[in-house]
Every structure is written in structure tokens, then in C-alpha cells.
Amino acid sequence: MIAPQFVKPFVKHQKNDQNDAEAICTALMLANMKVVPTKSEEQQDIQALHRARRRLLNHRTALVSQMRGLLLDRGIPIALSSGRARRAIPEILKDRTNGLTAMSREVIGDLFDFMDQIDARITVFDRRIDAVFKSNEDCRRIARICGVGPKTATAVVAAVGDGREFKNGRHLAAWMELVPRQHSSGDKRLLMGISKRGDRHLRTLLVHGARSVVRWLSARPTPSVNGSTTSANDVA
């Protein structure tokens, strides 16, 4: 199996089945062509859990944005996060002095109830992911890394598998697009920002885990030479 972006440069003229087949055969003849490993059924099941949960999260974000926009049209602003919206919207609906009409209260109330249903389904998927995490030895081994939880560990196993396709950790990081994008030529090396290619969901989980570790270390007291404790911010 070859990734489509590696086959596309070999397509001649217009796209049709004959030209696609010829491009695939041409790409297969290259000795250094990168192939895509076939995923096991367990990896596909775990990826299905993550994709379904991510779809529900997107729906919840869209609902929060819609309710926020409807309230903002009536001059009632609320914060962007779903947690603050979950606390603020019931209070707004109970307040009879904010100028909301009966129809607008019903519409926003129905959307808020729908968000509660989505939250319940997300909780169900979280429990399924936790069950997969507890039953998989590879997931528990990856979770020993600081900042890696059940969701990140299961996502890594679903995307990477046993990791035999990678020579070392640097190759794995490059595959996840956690390295700077290069635009180099000869002796001139230009490193740019992290590209957006690769598995976006997995990269997002790893970045959030790294941020949590940095935030935890910045607030954790560290022992000094004389025995007193100082925070990481004081040391920095």
C-alpha cells in the first residue's frame, strides 16, 4: 500500500483508471518508495473509537458556538469553552430579566439538552477507551511516559502498532510531523515551523500532553542545595 500523495506525481495527463494504475506501477518500481503498513483489526477498532469520539467533540463544539452566537445576538456574551458555557447557559435561561423571549429560551434550551446527550455519549466512548487501555499491555507501557494517558496511549498503538517500521524515535517523530519543516539546499539549511501533515489527532494529543507536563513542572516545588524548596519558575 502506497500513500496517495506519493503516487500523484506519477499520474500522466488526466486522471482515470488507466493512468492511475500506470502511476501506481511506476511508483512501486522505485526502490526507496515508502509503503503504508496494513493495520490489524484491533488497531482499526481503536481508531474507530477515537474517530467516533472526535466526531462527537466536533458536534459539541459546534453546538456551543451556535448557542454562543444566538445569545450574543441578544446582547448576552459567554465564554468560548464548553465548560463555561455549561455553567453559564442554565443561569441565563433561569434569569427572566435578561430580555430573552420565550421562543429563544426554548431553542437554546433544546440545544443545551442536546449537548447534554452528546456529553453522555462522549462519556461512554471514554469508558470504552479506558477498557481498551487496561486490557492492552502496549498501551499501559506507553502510559508510563509522563504526560501520556489512556487516550494518547491507545491512539499511539492504533496509529503506530508495534513500531517495527521505524528505525528509531527520530523517524517516528518525523512520521508524526513533530519535527520542523525543512526548506534546505546545499549548505543552506532553513528550518521552519512544525508542518500540519501526518496524523493530526495523534499530534494534538501529544502536544496537549507535553503542555500538561510543562504546566505541572512549572508549579512543582524542586529541592535546592540548602534543603529548601523552590518552584520551577523561580529556578528558571
Residues near 11 by Cβ (< 8 Å), separated by ≥ 6? 19, 20, 23
Three-state DSSP class for residue 33: coil
Tens digit of each residue's pLDDT (9 = 90 or more) over 81-97: 888 889 999 999 998 88
List, in sequence order, every beta strand (DSSP E) within the chain.
180-182, 191-194, 221-223, 229-231
Tell me, what's the pLDDT at 234? 42
At residue 128, does pLDDT exceed 60? yes
Tens digit of each residue's pLDDT (9 = 90 or more) over 175-213: 887 788 878 888 888 888 777 777 888 888 988 898 989
Separation between Cα atoms, residue 38 and residue 41, nearest integer Å: 10
Mean pLDDT over 106-129 rounds to 95
Cell for 108? 437554546
- Amino acid identity of residue 142, one-letter, is I
pLDDT category at 223 given cuts 50, 70, 90 is: low
At residue 231, does pLDDT exceed 60? no
At residue 103, does pLDDT exceed 90? yes
Average pLDDT for the chain:
86
Residues near 149 by Cβ (< 8 Å), separated by ≥ 6? 143, 209
Q: Is 186 left (phi over 0), alpha (psi -120 to 50) or beta?
A: left
* Whole-number percent of the chain with pLDDT over 70: 93
Is 0.85 surpassed by the pTM of this model? no
Tens digit of each residue's pLDDT (9 = 90 or more) over 16-31: 999 999 999 999 888 8
Tell me, what's the pLDDT at 233? 43
Using the 8-state DSSP alphabet, how is residue 200 labeled? Answer: H
Tell me, what's the pLDDT at 171? 82
Q: Where are the domains of the chain?
A: 1-36, 41-142
Mean pLDDT over 127-152 rounds to 92
pLDDT category at 226 given cuts 50, 70, 90 is: low
Is residue 34 a contact partner of residue 6, using CB atoms and an 8 Å limit?
yes
At residue 66, does pLDDT exceed 90? yes
- Amino acid identity of residue 207, one-letter, is V
Tell me, what's the pLDDT at 98? 87
Mean pLDDT over 20-46 rounds to 87
Is residue 130 a contact partner of residue 108, using CB atoms and an 8 Å limit?
no
